[in-house]
Structure 1
Amino acid sequence: MHPMLRRLDDLATHLAVRPDTVALLGLGSAGVDHDRLDEHSDLDFFLVVADGAVARYVAETDWLAAPCPVAYSFANERNGRKARYADGIFVEYAVFTVAELSRLPFTGARVVWQRPDAPPGLADAGAPAPPPTPYDTVEFHLNEALTNLYVGLHRELRGERLTAARFIQTYAVDRALALVRLTEPGGHRRDPFDPSRRVEQAYPPEVLPLAEMVPGYLHNRAAARAMLDWLQARFPVDPVIGGAVRELLAR
């Protein structure tokens, strides 16, 4: 058994003797897709507790330390913490009641442990993911990417290099990921909450040249040129905005 799965099992053994706990759910690579676990994985989970117990389980970490001492932790949101065990296992978790869990969008959860009288279907209790918006189209993502380049290059020329990098090497790249999702067959397991996960496994550099699109803080113009070339090679770029971006690149 992978050490992280064993850690969850050991944690569940401790939680089972606490009267105010309901269930422990593994998420991400500790969920139903736990075959993805490797030495670089962190351990994500939900702890489901009785009404009124959430704040205590977020504030206190004695229960978390039952299988192994906790060397570092901090509250990163109202319902959860990030922590690192003394043996190097890094965890990110959140604590909810059954009612709160039912209102959360999540997928791929696995029941590690639950009380015999816990409500059925906790791993599938999450609210459905929001449906695609009317703007999840090639036209929308293409033009968002082009206008990201346009705004980013203006900020680069103004000397605002960091915000330029975000527009050119982050926002526009996000739109490129959406474009390949819509137009290229991908056999990888997409993360519905983070489109950047595992894209290198799905798209080779000749399809998605990320090294050229994201060359770094000092190379915004090169990144914008690579992105524009990539867009124009694959999609019908409007000549007005495409020409405007080319003019900025020539300045």
Structure 2
Amino acid sequence: MHPMLRRLDDLATHLATRPDAVALLGLGSAGVDHDRLDDHSDLDFFLVVADGAVARYAEDTDWLSAPCPVAYSFANERNGRKARYADGIFVEYAIFTVAELARLPFTGARVVWQRPDAPPGLAAAGAPAGAPTPYDTVEFHLNEALTNLYVGLHRELRGERLTAARFIQTYAVDRALALLRLTAPAAHRRDPFDPSRRVEQAYPPEVLPLAELVPGYRHNRAAARAMLHWLESRFPVDPAIGEPIRDLLAR
């Protein structure tokens, strides 16, 4: 058994002794896709507790250290923490009641442990993750990418290189990933919360030339030029926005 899965099992053994603990759900590479676990994975989980117990579990981490001493931790949200065990296992978790869990978007959860009287279907209790919106269309993502380039190049010309890099090399690239998802779906396990995950395994460089699209802080113009070419080679670009982008690149 992978050490991270063993850690979850050991944690579950301890939680089973606590009457206000309801369930432990593994997420991400500790969820149903736990075959993805490797030496670079972190351990994500939800702890489900009884009504009124969330604050106590969020503030007091004695339950977390039951399997192994915790060397480092901090609260990264109201009901959750990030922590590193003394043996190097890094965890990120959040704590909810059954009712709160039902309102969360999540997917791929795995029940590691639950009380015999826990409600059924906890691993599938959440709202669908990554559900499409009315704006999840080729037209939307294409025009978002183009306007990201337009705004980013103006900021580059103003000398605001960092924000320009975000518009050109992050936001526009996110839209390119969305376009590929809609027009050239790949046979890989997509992360609905972070489309950049495992993208190198999904698309070869000839399909998504990331080295050209994300060349770094000093190369916003080159990145914008590469992204415009990538978009124009795959989709019809309205000259009313394409030409102003080319004008900015020429300055």
- Please give the TM-score of this superposition, normalised by the length of structure 2: 0.98
| 2:239 corresponding residue in structure 1 | 239
Cα RMSD (Å): 0.9
Q: Does 1:72 align with 2:72?
A: yes
* 1:120-144 Cα distance to aligned partner (Å, 9 max, x none): 1111111234642222111111111
| 1:193 corresponding residue in structure 2 | 193
* 1:210-249 Cα distance to aligned partner (Å, 9 max, x none): 1110111111001000100111111111112111111111
Alignment of 1:60-209 (within 5 A): 60-129=60-129, 131-209=131-209
Amino-acid identity (%): 90
* 1:19-47 Cα distance to aligned partner (Å, 9 max, x none): 11000000000000000000000000000
Q: Does 1:25 align with 2:19?
A: no
Q: Aligned partner of 1:152: which letter? A: G
Q: Aligned partner of 1:160: which letter? A: E
Q: Aligned partner of 2:193: which letter? A: F
How far apart in 2 are the matches of 1:128 and 1:91? 24
Stretches of structure 1 lacking an aligned partner (at least 5 in a row): none
How far apart in 2 are the matches of 1:147 and 1:18? 53
How far apart in 2 are the matches of 1:101 and 1:197? 24
Count, aligned residues:
251
Q: Secondary structure at the match of 2:112?
A: strand
- Please give the TM-score of this superposition, normalised by the length of structure 1: 0.98
How far apart in 1 are the matches of 2:124 and 2:230? 40
Stretches of structure 2 lacking an aligned partner (at least 5 in a row): none
Q: Aligned partner of 2:36: which letter? A: R
| Poorly superposed stretches of 4+, deviation over 2 Å | 128-131
Q: Which moved more, 1:85-94 or 1:235-244?
A: 235-244
